[in-house]
Amino acid sequence: MADPDLDDLSRRMNGALEALRHEFAGLRTGRASAGLLEPIVVDVYGAQMPLNQVGTIAVPEARMLTVQVWDKTAVSSVEKAIRASGLGLNPAVDGQLLRIPIPELTAERRIEMAKIAHKYAEQGRIAVRNVRRDGMENLKKMEKEGELSEDDLHLWGDEVQELTDQIIAKIDEILATKDEEIKQV
C-alpha cells in the first residue's frame, strides 16, 4: 500500500502562505517597507524589469524609502514607474538616488487597505482549501482503487484536515498582524 503524499500537500499549502506574505509585503501601511516597491516594473533598456534589478531599495528611516539607481540613464524611467505605480508615492530625484517619503494614510485609506488585506487572506484560505480538496479526492481515489482501507482513509483525511487547519491558523495570524499594522497611526 502506498501512503498519500502529505509532503506535497504541505508544500503546496505553504506556497499559498508564502504568496500571501508576498502580497502583504506590497500592501502599503504608512510605514516604509522595501517590499512596497518590489511589484513595480520599470521600462529600461527596451524591456520591462523589476525595480530591484535596476537599483538598490533601502529603508533609511521609518517613513522614507530610497532607491539607488545603478545606471544614470535609468533614473527618469524608475521615477516614472514609481509615480505610475498607483501607490500614491512621489519620489524626489537627487542624482542617482530617489528619496521616496511615505505619506500618512488617511482613516478611509486605512479602512480600504484593511479590506484589501482581508481579501488577500481569503484568497489564501481558498487556495489552501483547494489543496485540501485535491488531497481528499486523491485519498478517495486511492481507497476506490483498493490502495487504502476505509479506516486509513479516515486517518489520512484527519491528517490532511489538521494540516489545513494549521495553515489557515497561520493565515489568520498573519492577517491579524497586518491589520494591526495598517490601523496603527
Q: 123 and 73 in one domain?
A: no
Question: Which helix (H) or strand (E) segment is 100 a member of?
Answer: strand 97-101
pLDDT band at 1 (very low <50, low <70, confident <90, very high): very low
Does residue 127 sit in helix, strand or coil?
helix
Mean pLDDT of the chain: 87
Within this chain, do residues 88 and 19 fall inside the same structural domain, yes or no?
no
> Are residues 51 and 67 part of one domain?
yes
Same domain, 95 and 62: yes
Which of 52, 84, 101 is the last residue before a domain boundary? 101
Which residues, in sequence order, are CB contacts of 59 under 8 Å at separation 6+?
Answer: 32, 33, 34, 65, 66
Looking up cell 521609518 gives 62
Give the tens place of pLDDT for each residue, 116-149: 889 989 999 999 999 999 999 999 999 899 888 8
Q: Is residue 1 part of a domain?
A: no
* 182 contacts 113 by C-beta, under 8 angstroms: yes
Give the tens place of pLDDT for each residue, 50-74: 888 899 888 888 788 899 999 898 8
Chosen domain end from 57, 85, 101: 101
Q: How far apart are CA 18 and CA 128, in angstroms?
A: 11
Residue 57 lies in a domain: yes
* Count of structural domains within the chain: 2
| CA within 13 Å, CB half, 58 | 11
DSSP code, position 53: G
- The answer to whether residue 166 sits within a structural domain is yes
- The pTM of this model reads 0.68
Task: Give the count of alpha carbons within 13 A of 156, CB side only.
Answer: 25
Residue 12: pLDDT over 90: yes
Number of H helices, E strands in the chain: 4, 6
CATH value at residue 168: 1.10.132.20
Q: Is residue 142 part of a domain?
A: yes
**Is residue 66 a part of any domain in this protein?**
yes
Domain that holds residue 93: 34-101
pLDDT for 37: 81
Can you tell me the mean pLDDT for 103-113?
A: 80
| pLDDT greater at residue 159 or residue 45 | 159
Q: Does 138 lie in the same domain as 79?
A: no
Please check the confidence at residue 35 and state whether its pLDDT lies above 80.
Answer: no
**Last residue in a domain, options 101, 136, 157:** 101
Q: Any idea what the CATH number is for the domain that residue 71 is in?
A: 3.30.1360.40
CA-to-CA distance for 77 and 81, rounded, in angstroms? 6
Count other C-beta atoms under 10 Å from residue 72's C-beta: 9
